[in-house]
Amino acid sequence: MAAFDSVVLSTPRLRLRPLRGDDASALLAICSDPRVMRYWSSPPWHAIDQAQALIARDREAMAAGQYLRLGLERDGRLIGYCTLFQLDAQNRRAELGYVLAAAAWSQGYMGEALRALLDYGFDALDLHRVEADTDPRNRASVRCLERLGFVREGLLRERWIVAGEVSDTALYGLLRRDWRASPL
């Protein structure tokens, strides 16, 4: 895979760019919010070193082309991020992940960002398939995926145990041909 450390995408309202060291405080604010992390596969963060460690891992992994994580910047402020990970070159497949600050919910930012990321994945990376998994109780995430054309393909019962809470995972898939046929 090619390096991803210089990938920058733009949408009408957002700039998607690699996370920087000075994003650590904003990243911690987002990922320490229990509302944001409610349906995540790990508990809310509690320390700045968690944000710094993620940013440091990103620098190395993105330079090596292991995955692509882009921060969502709105008016110079980090409001979330989206990721293509588990890149499988042979099968031209990747998984999708994303997180958004609670203050930015219900404004269409994540759909806008994911459209740009998916365009990049299907065009520049020549992906054939993108997969996503979400807690089926996370109605906002489910609606976002479905608006983008993802199809629910299955349910993994009791897949996660986070802070003692057991939860299911709904699996979603999006094929390149369906993305291309979509009227978005």
Please give the pLDDT value at position 12.
97
pLDDT confidence tier of residue 42, bands split at 50, 70 and 90: confident
Alpha-carbon torsion angle 161, 169, 95, 62, nearest 10: -20
Q: Taking Cα atoms as reference points, which of 129, 106, 29 lies closest to residue 71?
A: 29
Range list of β-strands (E), 32-128 = 68-74, 77-88, 93-100
pLDDT confidence tier of residue 183, bands split at 50, 70 and 90: low
Q: State the average pLDDT over residues 65-86.
A: 97
pLDDT confidence tier of residue 129, bands split at 50, 70 and 90: very high
Alpha helical stretches, state H, 75-182:
109-123, 139-147, 176-181
Q: Is the pLDDT at 64 greater than 90, yes or no?
A: yes
Distance CA 34, CA 49 (A): 18
| Single pTM value for the model | 0.94
Identify the structural domains of the chain with CATH numbers, from first to last.
9-130 (3.40.630.30)
pLDDT tens track for 44-58: 999 999 999 999 999
Alpha carbon 49 to its chain's center: 21
